[in-house]
Amino acid sequence: MGATLGVLGAGSILPRVGYGCAGYALRAEAGGPVTLLDCGPGSIRNLATLGIGVGEVRRVVFSHYHLDHCLDLFALAFARHNPALGAVGELELVGPRGLRARVEGAPGVLGHWAAMPAAKVVEVEPGEAFEREGLRWRSTANGHTPEALSWRVEPAAGGWSLVYTGDTGPDVRVVELARGADTLLCECSFPEEQAVANHLTPTSAAEMARAAGVRRLILTHFYPSLDPAEAGRKAARIFDGPIDVACDGRVFEL
Ligand SMILES: [Zn+2]
Ligand SMILES: [Zn+2]
């Protein structure tokens, strides 16, 4: 199997069976290191659902710091202190500005178990690109919060590309980032009648996918008021490529 994206949480902070807080596990090659895209509460527990060990997590890339996207960073820190794990390798933490303050401040609030001595913190500015282990990463600001980013990742050698919106409202910068991408992993928080400016609905998610000309759309980040299957049907009226609907534990091939 080639690159895979496993869903650790396809829901929101509001409890819903089968849809936990935001977290995704990207593996560029079978048996290779794992990068988490966001790490909301429950993400670390759900690694087991996907058969991923804590020690396999090499990197966490954050979209923003709403707690449904980042709180399990500290559960990960605690887990990495567990003697059962033995020696853990370096962990790289990548995110928008504010990451260092959170990592350095955590032990003062949560105790020394929240310290991450082997973690390298990288704060990125919107638009800044970097490359790791043959993967190219690029981001854009999306206005969901002042710091929030959407991410695009693809092998330098080509083959696939993934855009993760994080949380966003309709935003041309995200459309540009996603231009021609293979897979758009797109937040779809609320039904149309509950639309808000800084989140998407099935219609606005599908409109972004269509405007960007992506090949495939995966809807995720469902609040309890939204029926995922219905969201997929609504999106299909606008976007005519394949549409998948995420739920916890699903694994998508990229
Ligand atoms: Zn958010
Ligand atoms: Zn969120």
Ligand closest to 13 (CA) is 2
Cα–Cα dist 46/56, whole Å:
14
**How many angstroms separate the CA atoms of 10 and 43, rounded?**
10
- Distance (angstroms) between ligand 2 centre and the Cα of 169 equals 11
Compute, in angstroms, the gap from residue 195 CA to the centroid of ligand 1. 14
Q: What is the pLDDT of residue 236?
A: 98
Rounded to the nearest angstrom, the distance between the alpha carbon of 157 and the centre of ligand 2 is 32
Centre of ligand 1 to C-alpha 85, Å, is: 32
Q: Predicted confidence band at 87 (pLDDT cuts at 50, 70, 90)?
A: confident
C-alpha–C-alpha distance, residues 184 and 208, integer Å:
9
Global confidence as pTM = 0.98
Ligand nearest to the CA of 149: 1
Question: What proportion of the chain, given as a percentage, has pLDDT over 70?
Answer: 100
> pLDDT class for 1, splitting at 50, 70, 90?
low
Supply the DSSP string of 51-107, one letter for each residue.
T--GGGEEEEE-S---HHHHTHHHHHHHHHT-GGG-S---EEEEESTTHHHHHHHHH
Pair of tokens at residue 243: 């549409």
Q: Nearest bound ligand to CA 221?
A: 2
Instruction: Assign domain 4-253 to its CATH architecture.
Output: 4-Layer Sandwich (3.60)
Of the candidates 210, 203, 200, the one whose C-alpha atom is nearest the C-alpha of residue 178 is: 210
For residue 168, pLDDT over 90 is answered with yes
How far does the centroid of ligand 1 lie from the alpha carbon of residue 66, in Å?
5
Considering only CA atoms, which of 120, 154, 119, 117 is closest in space to residue 134? 154
Ligand 2 center from residue 86 Cα (angstroms): 33
Q: What is the pLDDT of residue 14?
A: 97
Distance of CA 97 from the midpoint of ligand 2 (Å): 17
